[in-house]
Structure formats: C-alpha cells, structure tokens
Chains A and B, each alone.
Chain A
Amino acid sequence: MTLPDTRSARDAILGALRRGAPAPALPLPDLAPYLTGRYGRGSIGARIDPASLIEPFVAAAQGWRAEVLRATPADWPQVLRGALATRGCRRIAIGAASPLQPQLDIALAGLEPRRFERPIEDWKAELFDAVDAGVTSTLGGVADTGSLLIRPGSGEPRTLSLVPPVHVAVLAASRIYASLPAAMQALAPTDAMPTNLLLVTGPSKTADIQQVLAYGAHGPKELVIVLVDDLEGAA
C-alpha cells in the first residue's frame, strides 16, 4: 500500500509553529478549581460512601432515559432475565469471556445466547440484523451524571454495547463514584489505556430534527442497567 509521504508537510507545519511567536512557558494548569468544585465531587480526599451514591445514580440515569433495575448479588441473573423477557429479546450477544460468568449463562438458559468468539467480520450480518440485545459488564458508574464506565476488550468486544438495539449493563453498587474525575481516577489508570474506553449515559439519542429529542438514533434504543447492590456484605 503506497500512501503519500507527508513528512514534508510535517516539517512545514512544525517549522511554522516553532517559528511562531515565542510562547511563554506556562505552568501546568491547576485543575483544582474543577476537581474541588461541583463537577469534580469526590475526586480529592476520602472516597464518598457508595451507599450514599446509589439513589443519586439511579435518579440521574433515569433522567437520561436509562431503565435501572435493582438487584442483589443473588438474584441479578433473574432480574436480567426478566428485563430481556419483558422486551421479547431472545438472541442475546455476550462476550466470550464476560466477567459476569458463570451466572450470565444461568440467566440466559433457554434463550439463544450468541458468544462473541469470532472476529466481527465473520458474523456482522447476524450481529446487525438478528441479535436482539447485548449484555456487558461495566467498570463503574458515575452518580452525578448517571453514566457507565465501560472498558471493552477481547472478553467483551466494543460492538456489544453499540450494535444490538437493547444494551443491558450490569453495574455493582460498590463501583459507583460521585463524579466523572473520581471514577476515572479510581478505575481507568491511563498508563495502560485499553484500545477503547467508553463513558455511556443513557440510550443513543438525537435532537437534530427541530430540537425534538428522539431515542435510538444509531446506537441502542434502550439502555437497561442492572444495579447489583453488593454493599451489604462489604460493609
């Protein structure tokens, strides 16, 4: 494959920038006003008790039109199963190595699980046109915005939370943080960035037609969060 050699453009651009007005050396920006303000709650100092964050998380997620189903560590497979049954979902895409196993298999018994174990090219048509829902784990949640932090990978590929019309995400209450920077600091160390890191808040939406909000633009039409209250034993 021969692509244009753009090194001369590179030299021209960097040369022009270096010749540009001498930039004063600026100090590293102080993020404290952001981290200590309302947008950075809990990112400095002690961890905010996740038990106090459950209700705000649920309210915020619902505000973005996500459905939140409360569950216990024992009954979450049934709750998940119920969410799929209500929507008539039978073909369920799951990761080949989901952290939700082995319970996930129990939850899907009798349905038609589709394990993501081949490259997407091998079953694109089925994934796009025949799968009813995708189920994924989550890395954590953000109470202030009702967001889910998702780190896809070989065990749970990226398209699971994107292509099927329904996305069911399982979140442990112990993984809820107050704000986005607090969650990022705790859960997403940037020295080993994964190929893809996602913050997902509610189902796909658009307001491109006359500012009228419509859901299910290109991504999932529905986001169901199975919130597993795992704090009881931990406390």
Chain B
Amino acid sequence: MNAATESTLHFVDPRQFKARTAEAVDDAHLRASFRSAMDFLQTKRAAHFGNVDEFEALRGVGRAIRQYSLAKLPELLPQLEAKLTALGVQVHWASTPEQANAIFLAIARAHGAQGMIKGKSMVSEEIELNHRMAEQGVDCLESDMGEYIVQLAGERPSHIIMPAIHKTKRQIAELFAARIPGVGVTDDVDELIAIGRRVLRNEFRDAAIGVSGVNFMVAETGSLVLVENEGNGRMCTTVPEVHIAITGIEKVVERWDQVLPLYALLTRSATGQAVTTYLNVINGPRRAGELDGPKQVHLVLLDNGRSQAYADADFRPTLQCIRCGACMNHCPVYARIGGLAYGTTYPGPIGAIISPHLLGLEPTQDLPTASSLCGACGEVCPVGIPIPDLLIQLRHAAKHDALPGHAPLAGQASAKDWKEALAWQGWAWLSTRPTLYRAAVAIGRRLAWLTPPWQGGWTQHRTPLKLARRGLRERLAQREGRH
C-alpha cells in the first residue's frame, strides 16, 4: 500500500495526562480549533433537540433499549452468534487486544494478504490494530477521510466521530503535499477530499481484506449495522473478498425494530443530522447467485474490560454508550484540552468512564478528575448514562478500597495516598471533637503568618491558602450578638 502506513505511533501513556493538559491549554491554535468545532456540533445537535419533552421521550426509549439489551447480554450474545453462524459469518471471541490481533493476523495470513483497507472503527484503535499488524508486515490503511489524515500524520484520532478535528485545512493541505506523491498544496476542501478519494479508491478496488467497526448488532436477525456518511464503510464491507468486523460485546440489541430509535438518537446527537448518508445493514457473506459482497465475513467480539464494568451494577450503565460523542462535544474540559491530551482511545467524559475498565485505574486515575462535574455530559447523553455519578464513583474507587459487596476494579485504590488518607482521618477525628477543634483552630490562626507562600499544585495557578484572622463562626456569633 502507500506511504500512509509507514509511521507508527504507539500507545500514548494516559499517566502523562496532566503534563499534556498543560501543553494543550497553552496551545492557542488547538484551543481555537476545538472551540469552533464544539460550537458547530453543539449548534447542529440543538437544532434537532430544541423541544426538551420530545428529546426526553426519545431518550427514554433509547435508555430502555440499552438497559434491556444489557440485562439480557449473556443470552443475546449466544443468540447472535448462532444466527450469524447460520448466515455464514465466522464469529470469534477475544478477551484481550492480543487475542483480537491474533485473529486478524491469522485471517490475513490465511489469505496471504499484505494489507487491509479499514473503515472507521474505534475498537480497532483500542487494540492498536494498525501498529500490531505493521509489526507483522501487514499494512492497515485507514479510509475514513479523518482517520486517513490522522494516520498520514502519524497521530491518533482526537475525537471519536471527527478524528481530524484538531487539524486545520492548511495543515492537512501541507500534509497531503508532503506525503502523497504528485500532490501540491491546496487549501480548497473539495480538492483535498478529491485527492483522498482518488488515492483510496484504488485501495478499495485492490484490497483483499476490508475491516470495519459496527454500530449495532441485532441478535434475532444476525445483522451488523453500520452508520456512515462517506461510503468507505460500504466499500470496506462490500468490495474486498474478506470482511472482518470488530466490535465490543456490548453493542448488541435483541430486535431489529430496536435499532431505529437508537439510530435516530445517534445521528442527531453525533453530528446533528436526522439521518446519515448510509445505513448499511449486513446479514452475512455473499449468497449463492449474488455477484458482489465479501465471500467471507468474520466478526471479532472484544471484551477488553467490558465484563468488569458489566459485573458491577453501579458501573454497568457505562456500557449503554452508543458512541455518539455528544458528551465530549459538550464538555468544557474536552473543549479546552482536545482529545489527544487524554492519551486513551476514547477521550472526553465517555473516555474517563470507560478507560478505567479497559486499561485499569492505575494509569487512568487522573481522567475522572478532569471534570468540573457541571453535568452537561449527562444532560446530553442520548441513552441517559449518569456520567457525572460514574466520574465520582471512579474517583472514589481510585482512592479507596472496594465498598462492601463490590468486587475491586482493576487498579482499585491505586491512587491511594497514605498521607492524604491520614490527613482526612485526622481532620475527621478533630471535627467530631468540638473543644479540641476550637482550640486547634485558635492556635492555627495565631500561626497563620507561618503559612508557606508555596503550596504545591495549588499555588501554581492560585493565591496561597491562609486561615482568616476571624472565622465564620466568630463572625456569625458577633452578628447575632448585635441583633
């Protein structure tokens, strides 16, 4: 395939979140890009959901479908598998990214394929398919325009729906000119898209294997449903002789008629569209007498920590997500730092609540703290995930042992700090002993002049904390005495 696949960018450590956040906030260009993109997406969504009652009614249906599907998940998955198998789809299961990559590699080897053409799939990002295949000499080429741009630049997607949202057309023009032979610099968007179309069209025509994600799976009918505007998803799932779909185990619903309300919510929440250009419903490989469509269809069902979220009734709503991106589009933190700062496949509020299950709490402990708890994410979520509540629970899980009746999460209490814990315990002890408390505060006030001007992270952006000369209690007592 072409030069696009040379560069590899390995996993960015989410432990560096705070450092990258500082860099992102200082990048005026990046902030302006995200601000305008978020305003654009918010306005487009709002045009559809102006009537709150209508939105709530539709969201109620979406939430009920997702909760119902999750409650039945242990039954729906085998039902889906049986139906797909009957249709001729080969179903594979993977607990870990390594297992999923091994399946992809085995299929590529079995067909002697040197490369794969990819439609948009966040789950394939999750398993770092491109890099793992490149290590084995198999080139994966992204074909979603945004993903293609990001791959060409050797970067990661910064948004789950609009992967190249952090780049300007000028940057993309320079990237194309530098990386695609025979292309000059043009910042005409139609021309840029025409260039991408021309390059990728040859790849669709010649690729032996097409890869895609899945938006919804239907257990009763064995359907794989893909939602898209560009047509690259249809290309990848129709033209190559082999189609490999990969998705998370939570994406299944029971009945076909349950897809339509979710579709209505997904497209309006994601990009403010009533419908996408294509809703592509796939029911197995090419049948006898048919003249196109893949001869083989594979489905890889990935767990990668989802069953941990499932096991705890408190965290299970995390899996209701239909990946619309509305939570990040409305998040004041995401809008200021962008998607790359998170270092995880899924950025923004959904990333902060799903990543601790995918990667463990140890490397992701800072992500749930990247929220002012303003509640916008929960307000716009089309399937009613209580995102702010989940953020608070994950903050707690990072600092404390599991509560009685709850199994510990991977990395539970990894952010626990004995000094901090001791300080809180001491404060609790003191606060429940009024005489001692008053004495301690009185001493503290006398010694307020000793307060150091430098107080760690706090004073980086704020004035130092200092005990006031007179406390609230004292002031109130004085005021009441006056009346």
**Chain A residues in contact with chain B, CB under 8 A?**
1-4, 6-7, 9-10, 12-14, 16-21, 23-31, 33-34, 37-39, 64, 96, 116-121, 124-125, 128-129, 144-145, 147, 153-154, 157-159, 162-163, 180-181, 184, 190, 193-212, 214-220
How many A-B contacts if CB must be within 8 Å? 278
Determine the chain A residues whose CB is within 8 A of the CB of B58 once the complex forms.
Answer: 33-34, 37, 39
B277 touching A205, Cβ below 8 Å: yes
A119 touching B291, Cβ below 8 Å: yes
Give chain B's interface residue range (CB within 8 Å of chain A).
35 or more
Provided the pairs A25-B71, A154-B290 are in contact, do residues A31 and B200 lie with their beta carbons within 8 angstroms? Answer: no
A12 to chain B, nearest CB (A): 5
A207 touching B162, Cβ below 8 Å: yes
Cβ-based interface call for B257 (8 A): yes
A120 touching B291, Cβ below 8 Å: yes
Provided the pairs A13-B307, A120-B239 are in contact, do residues A202 and B74 lie with their beta carbons within 8 angstroms? Answer: no
CA distance A211 to B167 in the complex (A): 10
- B77, B78, B106, B276: the one contacting A2 at CB < 8 Å is B106
B162 touching A219, Cβ below 8 Å: no
Determine the chain A residues whose CB is within 8 A of the CB of B162 once the complex forms.
Answer: 207-208, 211
- B165, B189, B193, B292: the one contacting A158 at CB < 8 Å is B292
A194 to chain B, nearest CB (A): 7
A98 to chain B, nearest CB (A): 13
A29 touching B235, Cβ below 8 Å: no
Q: Could you jot down 20 A-B contacts, CB within 8 Å? A: A6-B94, A16-B311, A17-B73, A17-B249, A18-B74, A21-B310, A23-B70, A23-B71, A24-B71, A30-B61, A30-B64, A31-B257, A34-B260, A39-B58, A159-B239, A180-B275, A198-B280, A204-B278, A206-B193, A214-B190
B64 touching A39, Cβ below 8 Å: no
**Chain B residues in contact with chain A, CB under 8 A?**
36-37, 40, 54, 57-58, 60-61, 64-65, 67-68, 70-74, 77-78, 90, 92-95, 99, 102-103, 106-107, 110, 143-146, 149, 162-165, 167-169, 172, 189-190, 192-194, 196-197, 200-201, 204-205, 220-223, 229-232, 234-235, 238-239, 241, 249, 256-258, 260-261, 263-264, 271, 274-287, 289-293, 301, 303, 307-308, 310-313, 316
Determine the chain A residues whose CB is within 8 A of the CB of B271 once the complex forms.
Answer: 207
Provided the pairs A157-B290, A209-B193, A218-B200 are in contact, do residues A162 and B260 lie with their beta carbons within 8 angstroms? Answer: no
- B40, B189, B313: the one contacting A214 at CB < 8 Å is B189
B145 touching A9, Cβ below 8 Å: no
Determine the chain A residues whose CB is within 8 A of the CB of B221 once the complex forms.
Answer: 190, 193
In the A-B complex, list the 4 residue pairs whose CB atoms are closest, starting with the nearest. Answer: A219-B231, A208-B146, A217-B230, A16-B307
A218 touching B68, Cβ below 8 Å: no
